[in-house]
Amino acid sequence: MTQSTPEISGPQPSGTPTVTEHDFADRGSRPGKLLALHLNYPSRIAQRGRSPKFPGYFIKAGTSIARSGDVIERPAGTELLAYEGEIALVIGTEARRVSPEQGWSHVAGVTAANDWGLYDLRHADKGSNVKNKSGDGYTPLGPAVIATDGLDPEALRVRTWVNGELVQDDTTEGLVFPFGQLVADLSQLMTLEPGDVILTGTPAGSSVAQPGDVVEVEVDAPTAAGAPTTGRLVTRVVESEHAMAPYGHGPQVDDTQREEAWGSREAAGLPPAAEDEADDAAGSGAVDEHGRYVPSAPVADRTLLTDELRAKINQTAVATLTAQLQKRGIQNATIDGPRPVHAGQRVLGYAKTLRYVPKREDLATKFGAGFNAQKRAIDSVEQDDVVVMESRGEHGTGTLGDVLALRAQVNGANAVITDGGMRDSAAVAEVGLQVYANASHPATLARRHIPWEVGGTIACGGTTVQPGDIIVGDDDGVVVIPPDLLVEVVEDAYEQEQQDAWVFDQVKAGHPVDGLFPPNAQWKAKYQEFRDAQRRVEG
């Protein structure tokens, strides 16, 4: 498929920039690359509370491009489909390693864009925006392109209306990253070709649209000769009859996503932050009954551990999973020190966190007695939880006994992990629940600890653990897998496990390890033949 560049001529004799109709959604006219910028307008940056030092980008699918007048579907069961009115740059001449001063000269025209995003799926993307930003119809462009001849890139305006009400209105004066810089920056690693499109960020005012809403975006140059305009880019929102399929990430929202999607807590219908802290439950961004602030924490996505993924994890060593995390730059994901009570008994589940602080007698009286944080953690265990305790590596007391081990097991816990001590060790072993601990000690918890916080981010065995992290344990130890990396880590680790098993068989058959472990190209080819044959039998 050959991309086409909008036919944008130079200025008219009057000096008025040319305005040309162009159908970006036509298959023959789709951009070769559709690149988008995260933050650029000071108004949006102030709203988000993040100040980028350099531009940050993502790529949108070409099939997300739509025309003015098209509809956008909000998948059934989702709530946070948000619009972002933007100025789109259309590349006119090839740019490779150009300077910021040269960048604007490679832009043929500007048009209106709406960078739609489904915040319900942001958790699935890890910043890539593949699922939440690249749905069909998620990038309307047009309807017309304004030629850059005679345009001042710092005197453009973008406006957005929802059902006729103006909701976004900003200009390019004072952008953090001028258009020339964007072109130059991107051109350092990739060749920008004629027809490529760059979305340049949205100002404050982006928010959520509902089925039935009509959203319009217009880009113009009000101070240029003739005040050229792209015309209004119109999109109508409809409710899809199709929900997200169960074999991928499903929608997941929390109040943080609602606040960012709507633009403010007030717009999202949420109470002010101070009121929210006072009224919310302990452990989820609130003030607890003792007046302590309990920071917010992630909520476990309990759809992650599918039967297929569980089967692969249970056939994969913790060592192999750890190696895959290290390949991705995560070097410190193991809980070091605690050893398992039961040899040969694997652990898999969602982290439920509990933190102890050092005993201080006045605080111990207030927080250590009664239905304290330790008992609340154990009593609120859900199916497939792994209770992970931050005990500061303190061996001189127990942090778990047989009664609480039994209660955790009855509630559905898969394991308890503590970097402290365990008491009643023989009785705990009889319960049958897998427990990892640093030591055994007869003293009760109160000798050294105060139960302090349930559901926060903790440190256990030298690594950080958040609620909802995936915990995998075997006889070697315990690894913590970030939820957004789970699928790719498991898939690659499983394949590595198959290859290692095959290499083991080759060594057992008498082959030397030189060139085989790790396998060179010749051995890799033999292994691939083996796997292909194996898959044909399986499939």
Predicted pLDDT at 7: 61
Secondary structure of 274-293 in HEC code, one letter for each residue: HHHHHHCCCCCCEECCCCCE
User: Comparing C-alpha atoms, which of 10, 36, 38, 6 is closest to residue 111?
Assistant: 6
The string of pLDDT tens digits covering residues 479-504 is: 999 999 999 999 999 999 888 888 89
Q: Does residue 41 carry a pLDDT above 90?
A: yes
Residue 321 — φ and ψ, nearest 5°? -60, -40
Q: How much of the chain, in percent, has pLDDT values that exceed 90?
A: 69
Task: Compute CA distances 258 → 202, 248, 255, 267, 277, whole Å.
Answer: 18, 22, 5, 9, 16
**Mean pLDDT lowest among 152-156, 185-189, 219-223, 271-275:** 271-275
**What predicted TM-score, i.e. pTM, was given to this entire model?**
0.53
The 8-class DSSP code of residue 516 comes to B
Q: Does residue 279 carry a pLDDT above 70?
A: no
Locus of tokens 């001849």: 149
Residue 448 makes CB contacts below 8 A (sequence gap 6+) with 358, 359, 394, 396, 397
Q: How much of the chain, in percent, has pLDDT values that exceed 70?
A: 92
Predicted pLDDT at 15: 60
Instruction: Cite the residue boundaries of each domain of the chain with CATH code 3.90.850.10.
Output: 20-242
Give the integer Cα–Cα distance in Å for 482 and 485.
Answer: 5
What are the structure tokens assigned to 355, written together? Answer: 């933190």
Q: Into which CATH architecture does domain 334-481 fall?
A: 3-Layer(bba) Sandwich (3.50)
Predicted pLDDT at 299: 62
- 471-488 core/surface letters (b: 16 or more CB in 10 A; e: else): bbbbeebbbbbbbbbbbe
Instruction: Cite the residue boundaries of each domain of the chain with CATH code 3.50.30.40.
Output: 334-481
Helix, strand, coil content of the chain in percent (nearest 5)? 25, 25, 45
Instruction: Provide the mean pLDDT of the chain.
Output: 89
Domain 20-242 has CATH 3.40.50.1390: no
Predicted pLDDT at 266: 84
Secondary structure of 147-213 in HEC code, one letter for each residue: ECCCCCCCCCEEEEEECCEEEEEEECCCCCCCHHHHHHHHHCCCCECCCCEEECCCCCCCEECCCCC
Predicted pLDDT at 305: 93
Q: Does residue 128 carry a pLDDT above 90?
A: no
The string of pLDDT tens digits covering residues 377-428 is: 998 899 999 999 999 999 999 999 999 999 999 999 999 999 999 999 999 9
Calculate mean pLDDT across residues 327-342. Answer: 95
Q: Does residue 76 carry a pLDDT above 80?
A: yes
Q: Does residue 186 carry a pLDDT above 90?
A: yes
The string of pLDDT tens digits covering residues 450-476 is: 999 999 999 999 999 999 999 999 999
Give the helix/strand (H/E) hosting 20: strand 19-21
Q: What's the pLDDT band for 125 if we cut at 50, 70, 90?
A: confident
